[in-house]
Structure 1
Amino acid sequence: MTRYSMALRGAALAGALLLTGCTAGSDGGGSASSGGKVTLTFLTFETPNLDAKYWDAAIARASAKVPGVTIKKLVSPSADRTGYAKQLDSTGQFPDIMIGLNPAGFAESGKLEPWTDKELAAYAEPHANAYDGKVYQLPYAAQATLVYYNKKEFAAAGIDTPPRTYAELLDASAKLKKRGINPFVVGGGGKDSWADMFPLMCTVATDVYKKTPDWLTQRGDGKVKFTDKAFVTAAQKVADLADKGYLDRAGLSRSYADTEQAFRDGKGAMYPMGSWFSASADGKKPSFDTGVFTWPTDQGARALPSGVGGGMTVSSKARDVRLAKKWAKAFMEDHKSLDAAVKSDGLIIDIKGYTPPDDMGPVYKATVKEYRQAQKDDGLVNNFSTESGDGSMPPGLADKAATGVQKLISGRMTAEQFGDYMDEQWDKATR
């Protein structure tokens, strides 16, 4: 899913891991050269949607297709598995297989094994997120950042249709506030600071990436800065929403799970969040109907922050690279696992020939419709802080951005100061 925060220190790495053997077929270690058996470590993560039961079942299915492989499951103790993988690498514990890893930094330094065109044949966008022409992460699914809204509260405020321009979004927010309805639910407390990023992801999409799709590449080349007008304007929109009382500053201390529950409990009319929320909205249906729309641009053209990727990466130093890649593909292309991921996490699968289960709910279907419409309108742009491939953020910077956004929304940092802060953090991350 997206970039997340990490709070552990290197000294606690080994003890903090949740380590679980998941399949039979190995004598507990060694390499494929010893009887064709090998134990491989697999770094994953757990969320309220993708829990241990989901991962264990998927691991078992993949392992049944690749005899001789035993998987030891490593669960990142925070949602920032990329940052965690970086720490593991620094202590010589880099996993053999990883899912949802941002390859930036790892790919350029030769730590990941590239996927061949033959291995990518099943994927609709096989060269998504390429680094210098090479693909290191299986591009199996799309996710996007949208605005989910409470149709009941919209109706109570006299809002007949979701806003399609930014002026209409401000007007809708004013109407909701006048009725005593909190316009936006936000969160991001503790280890879940990543959850405060979604309003900024949307305004960067509309005010920066829509006009300059390769803006982050240009930042890497020193041609633009975060203190430039375009980025500061995007940050100012977020600050203004908070100043007007449209973003619930008191909610910033909420965890991700509590933020989702706050929207479900009717404590706000709009919830900017990743498309995975659609599965939750359908599976644990709140007392109101949930709608979805794309955060609007000033002129109404679509600019939907999104990305294709999220799949498996394999270490170039894996205990057995061939078997690791074979197992990763078996996991990634298993239709039962894909169905489970769609139902649990609202993924938009990008594998040829795959169709989602017929019984998917209305919020998921509406989410996919928004995504496909943006795709048709050439309205898909990068998702700020979760980019991958050429022109992605340096490792660790997304974490810093989330910290800055917390201060931006709370009023402890101006848009201009946030731009300065991001430039400073960029320079530190790229030294």
Structure 2
Amino acid sequence: MTRNPTLLRGAALAGALILTGCTAGSTGESASSGGKVTLTFLTFETPNLDAKYWDAAIARASAKVPGVTIKKLVSPSADRTGYAKQLDSTGQFPDVMIGLNPAGFAEAGKLAEWSDNELAKYVEPRANTYDGKVYQLPYSAQATFVYYNKSAFAKAGIDAPPRTYDELLDDSAKLKAKGINPFVVGGGGKDSWADMFPLICTVATDVYKKTPDWLSQRSAGKVKFTDPAFVAAAQKVADLTDKGYIDRAGLSRSYADTEQAFRDGKGAMYPMGSWFSASADAKKPSFDTGVFAWPTDQGSSALPGVTGGGMTVSSKAPDVKLAKKWAKAFMEDEKNLNAAVKADGLFIDIKGYTPPDNMGPVYKESVSAFRQAQKSDGVVNSFSQETGDGSLPPGLADKAAAGVQKLLSGGMTAAQFGAYMDSQWDKATR
């Protein structure tokens, strides 16, 4: 979703993207000419998943599905769900989308349902359901970890990652006493989503661990963001900044610059999605990188994770059957899966798939930590990244990230952040 408030400007941008989006295998023919179909495909770009990555993946899928021409649309921000909502409001809803949160669209009948037969290859075929129906291919899992600089920990006399939240605070104090910035956190400008990860972790440990269906209860009006549990989670994040453990001077960094700051040794801990493991292995810093899950007060496992991320298809696509065939070809192509694992550190949940043998140690450690959390029933929802019944309304993740910026900068208290989230929820669900 664009961050300017005017729909007119957003619609103009949408039109520009549709006209100028990269096309794979294009013949220039319309959807109705000669039996061919032109499909718009909404995706996104990050430092890990750049234009070259998407173009190659699109080409591989298109080679398997003759007669399909793909027009690639790129979301102007990380909130592609909010952007899809904006496109829908202007009559330009994409035919195929990746990484979309189906909430709202599914209930409105805008998405095509995936059948049990079409989901047969997926390890958790019903991972994200809306009233018992599946609208997104659940092809991979991701989680939020704390990546840490082992050399910085050793310099501060820390011989193991923290197991409880009190230990995390003690370690932060030890690092700061040695002149080491404990946490690297940033998310300036269009990358405000990247500042969410400390809160994603504290909501996991303090809210979702105790109440797994908390967001469903919020939808039913049984809980609010101003309730003590959520405010306490937000207060932990505010306290980290107030203590100087999260450096406010670095909050304006872009996502790429924040990642590089950790790699350059400008902080000891980097809370981030598991996709960072691929980057850490590909662009290895001068220090060894370790992995741990943000600890709970008692030391039990509460790892924020999400399974899904795959393709959704519009129920109004010019040829739904062919669009679904192309989407599955994209998702299930082994070279596409290998490329996604290498570029973005995904944990693929398709039966029979094995990651490439040459994956690096940070990725392997991340996978191991995730699978261990799964075995101990320690994976919980990931705030702002939920899909299926009990997820944020479209566009609210972007609003949450903007609020976290103020929470981190000291411009909003934890209680005010809770009230802000309730207000934004009410606006999004009117």
- Please give the range of the TM-score, normalised by the shorter of the 2 chains: over 0.9
Aligned to 2:170: 171
1:183 aligns with 2:182: yes
1:330 aligns with 2:335: no
Aligned mates of 2:316, 2:169 — CA distance in 1: 52
Report the residue type matching 2:74 in the other structure: V
Aligned mates of 1:277, 1:344 — CA distance in 2: 9
Aligned mates of 1:106, 1:243 — CA distance in 2: 40
Task: Give the superposition deviation at 1:412.
Answer: 1.2
Contact 2:2 2:10 in 1 (8 A): no
Greater CA drift, 39-48 or 347-356: 39-48
Q: Once the two structures are superposed, what CA deviation does each residue of 1:311-339 show, in whole Å capped at 9, x if it has no partner?
A: 00000000100000000000000000000
Aligned mates of 2:129, 2:344 — CA distance in 1: 24
Aligned mates of 1:11, 1:327 — CA distance in 2: 28
Aligned to 1:289: 288
Aligned to 2:120: 121
Report the residue type matching 1:23 in the other structure: G
Contact 2:145 2:294 in 1 (8 A): yes
Partner secondary structure for residue 133 of structure 2: coil
Aligned to 2:10: 9
Contact 2:21 2:74 in 1 (8 A): yes
Aligned mates of 1:73, 1:27 — CA distance in 2: 14
Aligned to 1:28: 29
Q: Once the two structures are superposed, what CA deviation does each residue of 1:49-73 show, in whole Å capped at 9, x if it has no partner?
A: 0111111111111111111111111
Could you tell me which runs of 5 or more consecutive residues in structure 2 were left unpaired when the two chains were aligned. none
Contact 1:5 1:399 in 2 (8 A): no
Report the residue type matching 1:372 in the other structure: R
Q: Once the two structures are superposed, what CA deviation does each residue of 1:342-396 show, in whole Å capped at 9, x if it has no partner?
A: 0000000000000100000000000001100100110000000110100000111
Task: Give the superposition deviation at 1:35.
Answer: 4.3
Task: Give the superposition deviation at 1:274.
Answer: 0.4
Q: Once the two structures are superposed, what CA deviation does each residue of 1:78-111 show, in whole Å capped at 9, x if it has no partner?
A: 2221111111111111111000111111111000
Aligned to 1:157: 156
Report the residue type matching 1:378 in the other structure: D
1:265 aligns with 2:267: no
Aligned to 1:344: 343
Contact 2:241 2:408 in 1 (8 A): yes
1:368 aligns with 2:370: no
Could you tell me which runs of 5 or more consecutive residues in structure 1 were left unpaired when the two chains were aligned. none
TM-score between both structures, scaled by the size of structure 2: 0.97
Aligned mates of 1:356, 1:6 — CA distance in 2: 37
Partner secondary structure for residue 142 of structure 2: strand
Q: Once the two structures are superposed, what CA deviation does each residue of 1:220-279 show, in whole Å capped at 9, x if it has no partner?
A: 000001111110110110011111000111111110001001001100000000000000
Aligned mates of 1:10, 1:245 — CA distance in 2: 42
Aligned mates of 1:321, 1:10 — CA distance in 2: 25
Partner secondary structure for residue 154 of structure 2: helix
Aligned to 2:215: 216
Change over 3 Å in CA distance of 1:399–1:27 after alignment to 2: closer
Report the residue type matching 1:13 in the other structure: A
Partner secondary structure for residue 222 of structure 2: coil
Aligned to 1:137: 136
Greater CA drift, 157-166 or 75-84: 75-84
CA RMSD of aligned residues (A): 1.2
Report the residue type matching 1:373 in the other structure: Q
Task: Give the superposition deviation at 1:306.
Answer: 0.5
Contact 2:241 2:248 in 1 (8 A): yes
Q: How many percent identity over aligned positions?
A: 80
Report the residue type matching 1:188 in the other structure: G
Aligned pair count reads 425
Map 1:21-420 onto structure 2 (within 5 A).
21-24=23-26, 26=27, 28-31=29-32, 35-420=34-419
Aligned mates of 2:419, 2:82 — CA distance in 1: 23
Task: Give the superposition deviation at 1:23.
Answer: 1.1
Greater CA drift, 250-259 or 70-79: 70-79
Partner secondary structure for residue 164 of structure 1: coil
Task: Give the superposition deviation at 1:77.
Answer: 1.9
Aligned mates of 2:35, 2:127 — CA distance in 1: 33
Contact 1:5 1:193 in 2 (8 A): no
